[in-house]
């Protein structure tokens, strides 16, 4: 039954194959010879199969786990250097017709205020986000054909791209909306979106149907096959994710990698990103009601195993996680984080009064973007506001082939420094700016090509002296 090339959800995410994989992993979790050979294969940086990666995840030998962590850290350094890309979510509407048991926006929650931003409100939110320094947004909306039809989403995207306030601009809009038709994906593609992100929530079909008892999202196959329709509609970059805590994490992990293998087998390009959210407390939602919660250590192990299994795929973590957890997993492979986020509809322009909260989940990391940027630099990272690939048309397989040839490194590092410089000049506090200027000075030396280094220096000067913006390699 299992066939990664099949277009049917139950064949490319075969329950039987996942169960056999978990059995195989359990039987081999102490097989040190096999584990060593898998680690050796991972060192080639060409990725691992779901079976191989599942053995690493099952392994409990501390020495071997440490080897996987070390390798994840090394792969992270080789592919992403010390750069972390920044983004912010923007919730457009929390009207939703679905019944997801883990989300406060579910239809039956009658006490959460329902809100939908008007274009005027979006303008205010985007100006507030630009004034923080953000360049990359992920827009979010519940599924509601009457309140949030595709025309509304498209109008919002146009509004967001059109706002140029002072030196601000949102240069990439990623979209996280419900599974939809090829025709609607085509419209999103034509509107110039970056990545289309859709969390699977859980790959376990029975649990999926139980957790989504009502609404269009109940349909497991339609949801699971969404990325294929998105790619058919012309969207090159898609982002996968599961909500850890709903089902057994080893099951989800195998399913997630099988989904990535399916995209590679059918479309020739794997997922652009993988997100790793965990169930959090929210209005009407108690995470303790879900028995599959995972510890911070298991969470870190999952991140490390994803990093070695799919080295070319970006990994995203949100402000659901605390500063301490974020610090740990950034080292092990996470390449994108949000900062200064609001998970309510609106709230950037004017904070919501507590009694009217429309939050989707409680934020653990409540620091401002300036604080997150400063913290990243203090622990040795370069916060990057880069959106260059998407704007240079380096998406899908073009992005992946550049990435696989190692060429992307010649763009990412100078782009990170230039976008950080823009941030420092336009938005940073004096303290953050002082740390950032020193960092840029030091990191310029790490641009390997002399010519690129020279051009980057000129661009950096021009940002400072001529007020020019938006340079990119």
DSSP assignments along 315-360, one per residue = EEE-TTS-HHHHHHHHHHT--EEE-S---SBS-SSSPPPGGG---S
Q: Which of 124, 109, 112, 189 lies closest to 157 in space, CA to CA?
A: 189
Candidates 13, 38, 254, 411; binder of ligand SF4 (CB under 6 A) is: 411
Cβ-based nearer residue to ligand SF4, 388 or 447: 388
Exactly one of 412, 439, 447, 460 binds ligand SF4 (CB under 6 A); that residue is 412
Among 54, 98, 275, 341, binds ligand SF4 (CB under 6 A): 98
Residues 173-202, interacting with ligand SF4 (CB under 6 A)? 178
Q: Which of 10, 198, 208 is nearest to 100 (CA)?
A: 208
Number of residues forming the site for ligand SF4 (CB under 6 A): 20
- Asked if 85 is part of the footprint of ligand SF4 (rule: CB under 6 A), the reply reads yes
How many of the other CB atoms lie within 10 Å of CB of 186? 16
- From CA 317, how far away is CA 321, in angstroms rounded? 7
Q: Note whether 143 binds ligand SF4 by CB under 6 A.
A: yes
178, 217 Cβ separation under 8 angstroms? yes
- For position 334 contacting ligand SF4 by CB under 6 A, the verdict is no
Task: Return the residue of 217, 301, 342, 433 that touches ligand SF4, per CB under 6 A.
Answer: 217
360 to 399: interface string for ligand SF4, x by CB under 6 A: ------------------------x-xxxx----------
- Residue 243 and residue 238: Cα distance in Å, rounded? 17
Is residue 243 within the footprint of ligand SF4 (CB under 6 A)? no
Sequence-ordered alpha helix ranges (H) in 44-180: 50-58, 62-80, 119-132, 150-162
**Least Cβ distance, residue 385 to ligand SF4 (angstroms):** 9
Least distance between ligand SF4 and beta carbon 412 (Å): 3
6 to 65, contacts with ligand SF4 by CB under 6 A? none
- Residues with Cβ within 8 Å of 465's Cβ and at least 6 positions away in sequence, in order, are none
Tell which positions 414-443 bind ligand SF4, by CB under 6 A. Answer: 415
Q: 53: closest CA among 302, 335, 329? A: 302
Q: Is 117 in the site for ligand SF4 (CB under 6 A)?
A: no
Q: How far apart are CA 426 and CA 73, in angstroms?
A: 32
Closest C-alpha to 409, from 312, 303, 331, 339: 312
Contact between 76 and ligand SF4 per CB under 6 A: no
CB nearer to ligand SF4: pick between 306 and 408: 408
103 or 279: CB nearest ligand SF4: 103
Q: In the 8-state DSSP scheme, what is residue 147?
A: T
Q: Whose Cβ is closer to ligand SF4: residue 21's or residue 335's?
A: 335
Residue 96 binds ligand SF4, judged by CB under 6 A = yes
Residue 146 Cβ, how far from ligand SF4 at the closest point, in Å? 14
**Tokens of residue 319, six digits:** 């402000």
CB 211 within 8 A of CB 205: no
Structure token pair of residue 207: 């649990």
Q: Residue 146 is encoded by which pair of tokens?
A: 């009457």
Kindly state the smallest distance separating residue 51's Cβ from ligand SF4, in Å. 29
Which range in 277-285, 344-352, 361-369, 409-417 contacts ligand SF4 by CB under 6 A?
A: 409-417
Residue span binding ligand SF4 (CB under 6 A) among the ranges 39-47, 98-106, 155-163, 269-277: 98-106
The residue within the footprint of ligand SF4, chosen from 4, 89, 133, 142 (CB under 6 A), is 142
**319 vs 335 by CB, closer to ligand SF4:** 335
Please identify, among the stretches 46-54, 102-110, 125-133, 271-279, the one whose residues bind ligand SF4 according to the rule CB under 6 A.
102-110
**Which residue bears the tokens 């939110």?**
125
Give the contacts of 385 (CB within 8 A, at least 6 positions apart). 85, 86, 133, 134, 135, 136, 419, 420, 422, 423
Residues that bind ligand SF4 (CB under 6 A): 85, 96, 98, 100, 103, 105-106, 142-143, 178, 217, 384, 386-389, 408, 411-412, 415
């Amino acid at each position: 039954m299992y066939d990664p090339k099949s277009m049917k959800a139950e064949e490319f995410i075969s329950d039987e194959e996942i169960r056999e994989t978990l059995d195989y992993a359990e039987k081999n979790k102490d097989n040190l010879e096999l584990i060593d050979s898998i680690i050796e294969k991972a060192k080639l940086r060409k990725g691992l199969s779901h079976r191989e990666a599942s053995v690493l995840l099952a392994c409990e030998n501390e020495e071997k786990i440490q080897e996987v962590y070390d390798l994840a850290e090394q792969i992270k350094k080789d592919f992403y250097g010390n750069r972390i890309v920044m983004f912010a979510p923007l919730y457009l509407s929390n009207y939703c017709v679905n019944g997801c048991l883990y989300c406060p926006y579910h239809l039956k929650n009658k006490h959460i205020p329902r809100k939908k931003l008007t274009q005027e409100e979006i303008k205010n939110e985007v100006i507030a986000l630009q004034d923080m320094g953000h360049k990359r947004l992920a827009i979010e909306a519940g599924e509601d054909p009457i309140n949030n039809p595709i025309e509304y989403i498209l109008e919002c995207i146009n509004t967001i791209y059109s706002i140029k306030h002072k030196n601000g601009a949102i240069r990439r809009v990623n979209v996280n909306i419900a599974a939809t038709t090829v025709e609607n994906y085509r419209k999103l593609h034509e509107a110039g979106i970056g990545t289309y992100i859709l969390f699977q929530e859980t790959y376990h079909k029975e649990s999926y149907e139980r957790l989504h008892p009502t609404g269009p999202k109940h349909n497991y196959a339609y949801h699971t096959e969404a990325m294929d329709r998105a790619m058919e509609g012309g969207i090159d970059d898609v982002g996968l994710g599961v909500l850890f805590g709903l089902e057994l994490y080893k099951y989800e992990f195998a399913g997630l990698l099988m989904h990535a293998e399916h995209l590679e087998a059918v479309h020739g390009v794997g997922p652009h990103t993988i997100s790793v959210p965990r169930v959090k407390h929210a209005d009407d939602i108690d995470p303790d009601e879900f028995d599959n919660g995972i510890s911070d250590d298991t969470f870190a192990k999952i991140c490390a195993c994803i990093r070695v299994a799919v080295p070319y795929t970006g990994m995203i973590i949100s402000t659901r996680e605390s500063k301490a957890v974020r610090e740990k997993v950034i080292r092990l492979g996470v390449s994108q984080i949000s900062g200064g986020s609001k998970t309510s509809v609106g709230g950037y322009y004017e904070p919501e009064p507590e009694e009217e909260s429309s939050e989707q989940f409680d934020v653990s990391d409540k620091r401002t973007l300036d604080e997150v940027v400063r913290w990243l630099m203090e622990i040795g990272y370069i916060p990057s506001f880069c959106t260059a690939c998407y704007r240079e048309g380096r998406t899908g397989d073009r992005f992946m082939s550049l990435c696989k040839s190692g060429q992307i490194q010649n763009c990412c590092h100078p782009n990170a420094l230039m976008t950080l410089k823009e941030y420092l000049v336009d938005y940073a506090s004096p303290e953050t700016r002082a740390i950032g200027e020193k960092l840029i000075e030091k990191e310029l030396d790490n641009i390997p090509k002399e010519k690129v280094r020279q051009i980057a220096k000129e661009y950096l000067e021009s940002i400072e002296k001529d007020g020019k913006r938006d340079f990119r390699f």
